[in-house]
């Protein structure tokens, strides 16, 4: 029993590393190709959520294949179909959990043909199906054969070392992800305040003057009881928007390097969907705020 558990743990880390290597190489080659046409510096891309060379979703997929598909290896068509189904479930659930925890997506298939909520799509489902065939009939037998030469004591030591490193990596990565979430929370707080001001602007643009005045009074009462405090609020909102813009530019490496660690910058760049979402929200708020400020002159 212990031997089987050690095998599964080693399998998880091994295929997490292999998946990371393949995906990072693919993305790095694509970035290198694009860099040839521009003056951009060529970079090696870490495509994983973690800072280290691991993509746990691939390790999880390998475990699912080994436990649930190998028993059906006599029927290749069952391996193919079940491989696509199980892999899609893993990918979809992982996407949902990461979005719930960090309010961000590390992949987005919205523009892909036949996608489901941007979390899974037909193209990658087919990829998973092909890989399930390769895994069951080629990779799994080789892995089992090679593991037969590794003593249990060695397996235990390797698992203990890798697991300790994995826990440290996971802890640091989650901390960095939560730091990014703080920035998103600031945006949401400002969104509430800016929306409050927008309600007045919308009412003022309408035909009912009384409604506009009422909206303005309500808005101003919620912000401050005196004109001086109201002006301070306007200045404060502008400063906060400028500060968040500076933080976003720094994290996404559009501005000068500063206090943000390379871990946070790497994590932010790993999720293009999150970067685009935050940038769009911030840009919309900046545009709306500029419009609102002119109404309050």
Assess if residue 290 is contained within a domain.
yes
* Number of domain units in the chain: 2
Quick one: pLDDT at residue 137? 94
Assess if residue 7 is contained within a domain.
yes
Rounded-to-5 percentages of helix, strand, coil across the chain: 80, 0, 20
Quick one: pLDDT at residue 219? 58
pLDDT in tens, 235-283: 777 777 777 777 677 666 644 455 555 666 666 666 666 667 677 777 7
pLDDT in tens, 163-192: 898 898 888 877 777 777 777 777 777 776
Same domain? 146 vs 175: no
Please give the average per-residue pLDDT across 83-98, as a whole number. Answer: 91
What range defines the domain where residue 60 resides? 2-150
Please give the average per-residue pLDDT across 58-77, as a whole number. Answer: 91
For residues 18 and 296, the model is more confident at 18
Assess if residue 286 is contained within a domain.
yes
The long-range contacts involving 283-288, CB below 8 angstroms and separated by at least 24 positions, are 285/187, 285/190, 285/191, 285/194, 285/241, 286/241, 286/245, 288/194, 288/198
Q: What percent of the chain is predicted at pLDDT more than 70?
A: 64
Same domain? 8 vs 74: yes
Quick one: pLDDT at residue 19? 85
Same domain? 73 vs 187: no
Please give the average per-residue pLDDT across 196-200, as a whole number. Answer: 56
Same domain? 122 vs 251: no
For residues 21 and 196, the model is more confident at 21
Assess if residue 98 is contained within a domain.
yes
Same domain? 189 vs 146: no
Same domain? 248 vs 109: no
Same domain? 35 vs 93: yes
Assess if residue 215 is contained within a domain.
yes
What span, in angstroms and rounded, lies between the C-alpha atoms of 48 and 63?
18
Same domain? 12 vs 122: yes
Same domain? 123 vs 252: no
Quick one: pLDDT at residue 295? 57
pTM above 0.85? no
Same domain? 94 vs 185: no
Assess if residue 216 is contained within a domain.
yes
Q: Which of 201, 215, 180, 42 is nearest to 101 (CA)?
A: 180
Assess if residue 194 is contained within a domain.
yes
* Residues 179, 264 contacting (CB under 8 angstroms): yes
Q: At what angle do helices 272-295 and 152-204 cross, to 10 degrees?
A: 20
């Amino acid at each position: 029993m212990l031997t089987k558990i050690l095998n599964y743990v080693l399998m998880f880390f091994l295929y997490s590393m292999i998946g990371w290597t393949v995906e990072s190489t693919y993305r790095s080659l694509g970035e290198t190709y694009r860099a040839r046409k521009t003056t951009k510096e060529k970079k090696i891309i870490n495509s994983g959520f973690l800072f280290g060379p691991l993509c746990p979703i691939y390790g999880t997929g390998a475990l699912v294949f080994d436990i649930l598909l190998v028993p059906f290896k006599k029927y290749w068509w069952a391996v193919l179909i079940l491989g696509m189904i199980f892999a899609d479930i893993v990918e979809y659930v992982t996407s949902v959990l990461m979005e719930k925890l960090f309010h961000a997506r590390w992949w987005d298939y919205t523009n892909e043909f036949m996608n489901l909520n941007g979390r899974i799509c037909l193209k990658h489902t087919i990829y998973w199906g092909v890989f399930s065939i390769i895994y069951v009939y080629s990779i799994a037998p080789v892995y089992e054969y090679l593991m037969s030469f590794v003593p249990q004591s060695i397996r235990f030591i390797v698992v203990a070392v890798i697991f300790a490193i994995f826990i440290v990596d996971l802890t640091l990565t989650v901390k960095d992800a939560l730091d990014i979430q703080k920035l998103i929370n600031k945006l949401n707080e400002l969104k509430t305040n800016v929306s409050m001001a927008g309600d007045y602007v919308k009412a003022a643009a309408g035909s009912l003057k009384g409604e506009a005045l009422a909206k303005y009074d309500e808005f101003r009462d919620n912000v401050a009881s005196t004109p001086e405090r109201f002006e301070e609020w306007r200045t404060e909102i502008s400063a906060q928007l400028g500060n968040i813009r500076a933080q976003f530019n720094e994290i996404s490496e559009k501005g000068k390097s500063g206090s943000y660690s390379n871990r946070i910058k790497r994590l932010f760049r790993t999720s293009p969907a999150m970067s685009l979402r935050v940038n769009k929200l911030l840009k919309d708020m900046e545009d709306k705020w500029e419009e609102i400020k002119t109404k309050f002159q």
